[in-house]
Structure 1
Amino acid sequence: MPKSTSNGSDLSRRERQIMDVVYRLGKASVNDVLDRIPEPPSYSAVRALMRILEEKGHLKHEQDGPRYLYLPTVPRESARVNALSHMVRTFFGGSTEAAVAALLDESQSRISDAELDRIASMIDQARTQGR
């Protein structure tokens, strides 16, 4: 039985690349992944990695004729939130403020006024909801 995982922290770089392809396509075969990852390893290596991702609980498969199509077990948004929460706990001691400050500092020349307005609106909404 596959074990359930709540975040992507246990994934290798190559496993994250595979998951990205599967999320983008909704479901993907080994060949779909091979066509879309940089410097892909062999077919059998990708197939083995997808089987490992299934064992870790990140993917499930369905039969499509002679081939397997792999699907994510968790919606992308849920996986994104879980991974971000893990990152904030791991690198920022659980401080959302420190994480946002780091993002703003890193991106100061790339954040438009419109983006800053949307972020301010999200903060206002979080305040009114008591978060």
Structure 2
Amino acid sequence: MERLTRAEEPIMKIIWDKGDVFVKEIVEELAEETPYNTVSSLVRILENKGMVGHRAFGRTHQYFPVIKRSEYRKRMLKNMITDYFDGSYKGLLSQILEDEEVSEKELSELKKLINSEL
């Protein structure tokens, strides 16, 4: 599965959040003003990538996610671990634990989560 580009990410997030959506609705949801034709082109690219599908209503299309957000996250995390941590989940966790931006509360919650899975 291909990684989403920076331009595709906000559009895909809207599609995941809304489910069935028309391009006009995506344009309305975007924080930045993005032209309708640009959004339409990006949605078609997402469709070509197999991320979204559509239903035709005359000359307009309603788009829906084909890939679940959780499945995308899982695949991208696996790719990141392979690419940046030599396939080591321990390396990823070590990096997270060394990160000074992780709060004590989050670290405590991570420890509880790890212990509950053992």
TM-score under structure 2 normalisation?
0.82
Give the unaligned 5+ runs of structure 1. none
Letter in 1 for 2:91: A
Q: 1: distance between equivalents of 2:95 and 2:58?
A: 48
RMSD of aligned Cα (Å): 2.1
1:85 CA displacement: 0.9
Give the unaligned 5+ runs of structure 2. none
**Number of the residue aligned with 2:114:** 123
Q: 1: distance between equivalents of 2:62 and 2:110?
A: 38
Cα displacement string for residues 60-95 of structure 1 (whole angstroms, at most 9, x for unaligned residues): 011346531211111111111111111111122211
1:54 CA displacement: 0.5
1:29 CA displacement: 1.4
Post-superposition, which runs of at least 4 consecutive aligned residues in structure 1 deviate over 6 A? Answer: none
Q: 2: distance between equivalents of 1:105 and 1:64?
A: 52
**Number of the residue aligned with 1:55:** 48
The answer (yes or no) to whether the contact 2:81–2:87 under 8 Å persists in 1 is yes
Q: RCO (CA 8 Å, sep 6+): is it higher in 1 or 2?
A: 1
More displaced 10-residue stretch of structure 1: 56-65 or 44-53: 56-65
Residues 95 and 45 (structure 1), Cα distance of their counterparts in 2 relative to 1, 3 Å cut: same
Give runs of aligned pairs for residues 19-38 of structure 1, distance below 5 A. 19-38=12-31
Cα displacement string for residues 89-111 of structure 1 (whole angstroms, at most 9, x for unaligned residues): 112221112212222333x4542
Letter in 2 for 1:111: S
**Number of the residue aligned with 1:73:** 66
1:86 to 51, 73, 79: 79
Q: 1: distance between equivalents of 2:98 and 2:25?
A: 38
Q: 1: distance between equivalents of 2:94 and 2:25?
A: 38
Letter in 2 for 1:126: E
